[in-house]
Amino acid sequence: MSRVFLKALGVSAALGGMFLANTSKSSASDDAIHPPHLHWSHYGAMSGFDYHSVRRGFEVYRTVCASCHSLERITWGNLVGTALTEKEAKEYAADTEYPDDPDSQGEPRTRPGKLSDKLPAPYPNEQAARAANNGALPPDLSLMVKARHSGLDYLFFLLTSYVNPPAGSPEKPGLHYNPYFPGGWIAMTQALHEDGIEYEDGTPASISQMAKDVSIFLNWAAEPEHDVRKRTGIKVMVVLGVLGATSFYWSKTKWIVPKLRRVVSTRD
């Protein structure tokens, strides 16, 4: 039995070594800097999104990012009460044309958007997207925070860290150097520039401020239920605490007599 156990242990150790070796090779081949951890205000157990930042982040997305990247999981209605008021969302939606049922002659028609419509994609299909971006396909941003390791930190540093390539590094036409991107070369050019937009609330539009706001907006887009989930969790913990305290009280007061009662048989 001990030999079987030792053999199994040896096989497990070998497999673990192979996994770690492959992981280290993969990490080394990425040639990317791991982003440092930032302390975002909504990371606390009882903290929610900064919706002023979410609103500003939508401004950045609509002005800068939406020309190349889609948000296919988000509707105009999702933005109500977070990034937009209901009136604003309806106006934005109405300014966008969506395909409608054909007319009586079979000709295609369009209609103004509604709150239930998804945000429009910048390109009609993948081929058009690649043709407009030198063969690169701009990813959908709906779940980008979830799709990348250290997602929120990664997005912030990716957007703020375009630099010149290291000395001696060969130039790659059509690509731009960013040390936080795996491999170091990315097809997306630097999108954020000082005072690139004008915030409606007067916040200075520095590169770091815009990167922070759009990162928080994309974090919200990846999990719009974030704040509701936390509030529900707090309510559940309070209810469980009250039920637990009540059960403990009944156990120590009401059930103590039955628990300590002895049944003595007088039968010979």
Residue-wise pLDDT for 153-203, tens only, equals 999 999 999 999 988 888 888 899 999 999 999 999 999 999 999 999 999
Contact 60, 210 (CB under 8 A): yes
Q: How do residues 228-258 score in pLDDT, each as one tens digit? A: 989 899 999 999 999 999 988 888 887 777 7
Give the confidence band of 45 by pLDDT, cuts at 50, 70, 90.
confident
Question: What's the pLDDT at 10?
Answer: 52
Which residues are 99's β-sheet partners? 110
pLDDT of 112? 95
